[in-house]
Structure 1
Amino acid sequence: MISIKKKMSMTSVWSRRLFILSFLLPTLALFALFTIYPLIRGLYLSFFDWSGGSETMNFIGVNNYKELFSDSIIPTAIKNDYFLIFWKVILIMLLATFFAVALTRLRLKEYGFYRIIFFFPNIISVVVIGVLWSFIYNPSLGFLNAFLSLFTKNPIEINWLGSPNLAIWSLLPPSVWAGIGFYMLLIIASILGIPNSLYEAASIDGANEWKQFTGVTLPLIWEQFKTSIIHIVITTLNGSFIIVKLMTDGGPDNQTQVLGYYLYQMGFKQYHLSYGATIGVLILVLSLITTLLINRILHRDTIEM
């Protein structure tokens, strides 16, 4: 009798596992097809000399990696990528956290309206954002120079996107503007999950709003905070090439070049796809190393509510 019950329980366990697996398989198949396979294929191509259109692929070993380490543009691209990461993490997380706390703790009547306004840039296509900010930075007709000219006697005609010293800085405002709303909503969701009783207890103990934020809010949203930073790092290393392509095309003189756009140029403009794949491997390695370091630096014990 006992053995029959064991067999029935084992059958139910396997049935449950098969049921769960039947739902996971399509997702795993898509993940393997669109993520795992391209990674393996890119690593494979990095050991060949291939234009991307020819039928022959010549095995050249690690020559692409030797070329990578001697390429003078690579250090500039890495520097620009981490420049964008550094400032985007600081500005986006600072502003997103400020707005999230303000909208949740102040209990504004227009809470829903402000949420939509801040999230609006995320609805817009990146292409639209790039074109819009290119018009804003236009030396002759742009809003920015026109606004600054209001405070001077002579018209200002700064070439924001054409200046070697200003171009990389000019990519920050559109990148930050486009990211604040998304991370603000993530932080809002975490804050709304914090029991009000904790804030009431802190208030009774004499904690002001700042102490409530540092003592209650920040520790309890820390995991979401860390995840958001890691997400900014990954999306910047893998996606900043779009804004570069739209606004500066990597110029002037490669001063706004980033790894993602350099990959695109080498692989699809200069038809050196195998070298582009090598740059892709570099992006993957940098993403992994940076993510692991941030995870290590920002690690804290999870606080139970």
Structure 2
Amino acid sequence: MTAAWKRRLFIASFVWPTLILFLVFTVYPVLRGLHYSLFDWSGSAESMDYIGLRNFKDMASDPVIAKAIRNDYFLVFSKIFGIMLLAVFFAVALTRLKLRGSKFYRFAFFFPNVMSVVVIGVLWRFIYNPKLGILNGLLSETQGKPVETPWLGDSSYALLALLPPAIWAGVGFFMILLIAGIKGIPEPLYESAQIDGARQWKQFWHITVPLVWEQIKVSIVLIMLTSLNGSFAIVSVMTEGGPDNATQVLGYYLYQMGFKQYHMGYASAIGIVILVLSLVTTIMLQRIMKRDSVELS
């Protein structure tokens, strides 16, 4: 056996186990979901009635699907803006501005990532409680009169009320990711810019942002994916899609159709739509954020 073949076998010995796991736990479930989406099936009955693309046609006329997609993308772009704004601000403040007690702040901001979504949802439900919640309590004190706004029970506020807990829970991880990127930037670059008269704002735009752009791109794509695929958890704990589907998202609607109403074929079709939307949105974001990478020599 030649040295080239030995090298290929050595590499394959590491690649094949991961590839097998990917095929078994990712590709196979997707193909099975696509298969189930072509049937009218309760999920437990032995009989499966083939209906072709009828589930997808029904989705096109389902008003809940349209509302869920709008809500999903509202959460996606709001979370991207909110999380990235705070994560970049905290990352720069804890590295370039050299704040005292930076280790404590890193722990404090990252701590919500350690908590489960259930705990976060229950905590914020208490904050939003109309009579006992901290938020209405503070508003009552500032306005000098009782405030009992049903933040999660009013369709005007419910979707917006999901943003603070979602952003609060996501900032810490992406802050740490950006801190790692900023710490990899050589200090002489900032020193040279400072000698040339560049202030902190210019140093941020012309040094920090270009050199951590890859981390920013990865962060934005991860936020998008976790929002389109993971909003189910926070919605399930806090609002269950209500009131009047005001906070309905595709992930929770899939759960309702599949495990509450036993339309597993329709739920599988929703899963395929989530997959397609995730792929299309990822490609679009990658193209929008495409720029020449900056490498340090």
What is the TM-score with the length of structure 1 in the denominator? 0.95
What's the CA shift string for 1:65-115, capped at 9, x where partnerless? 110101110110001001101111111000000000000112234222111
Identity of aligned residues (%): 61
Other-structure match for 1:26: 17
Other-structure match for 1:205: 196
After TM superposition, the structure 1 stretch with the greater mean CA deviation from structure 2, 110-119 or 133-142, is 110-119
Q: Give the match's secondary structure for 1:150.
A: helix
Other-structure match for 2:294: 303
Q: 1:131, CA displacement in angstroms?
A: 0.4
Other-structure match for 2:37: 46
Other-structure match for 2:270: 279
Other-structure match for 2:91: 100
Other-structure match for 1:6: none
Would you say 1:116 and 2:107 are equivalent positions?
A: yes
What's the CA shift string for 1:101-134, capped at 9, x where partnerless? 0001122342221111110000001100000000
Q: 1:91 aligns with which of 82, 88, 107?
A: 82
Q: Flag the structure with larger Rg.
A: 1
Instruction: Output the CA distance in 1 between the equivalents of 2:232 and 2:202.
Output: 40
Unpaired runs of 5+ residues, structure 1, are 1-9
- Pairing 1:96-245 to 2, within 5 Å after superposition: 96-245=87-236
Other-structure match for 2:67: 76
Q: 1:301, CA displacement in angstroms?
A: 0.6
Other-structure match for 1:16: 7
How many equivalent pairs are there?
296
After TM superposition, the structure 1 stretch with the greater mean CA deviation from structure 2, 94-103 or 34-43, is 34-43
What's the CA shift string for 1:158-204, capped at 9, x where partnerless? 00000010000000000000000000011111111111111111111
Q: Give the match's secondary structure for 2:2.
A: helix
Runs of 4+ in 1 over 4 A off after TM superposition: none
What is the TM-score with the length of structure 2 in the denominator? 0.98
Backbone CA RMSD of aligned residues:
1.0
Code of the aligned partner of 1:189: A
Unpaired runs of 5+ residues, structure 2, are none
Q: Give the match's secondary structure for 1:108.
A: coil
Instruction: Output the CA distance in 2 between the equivalents of 1:38 and 1:163.
Output: 37
Instruction: Output the CA distance in 1 between the equivalents of 2:137 and 2:217.
Output: 39
Instruction: Output the CA distance in 1 between the equivalents of 2:122 and 2:192.
Output: 50
Instruction: Output the CA distance in 2 between the equivalents of 1:19 and 1:127.
Output: 43
Other-structure match for 1:292: 283
Instruction: Output the CA distance in 2 between the equivalents of 1:93 and 1:53.
Output: 43
Q: 1:67 aligns with which of 30, 34, 58?
A: 58
Code of the aligned partner of 2:184: G
Q: 1:257 aligns with which of 248, 263, 287?
A: 248
Instruction: Output the CA distance in 2 between the equivalents of 1:100 and 1:35.
Output: 34
Instruction: Output the CA distance in 2 between the equivalents of 1:20 and 1:176.
Output: 40
Instruction: Output the CA distance in 1 between the equivalents of 2:245 and 2:99.
Output: 46
Instruction: Output the CA distance in 2 between the equivalents of 1:288 and 1:157.
Output: 42
Instruction: Output the CA distance in 2 between the equivalents of 1:142 and 1:237.
Output: 29
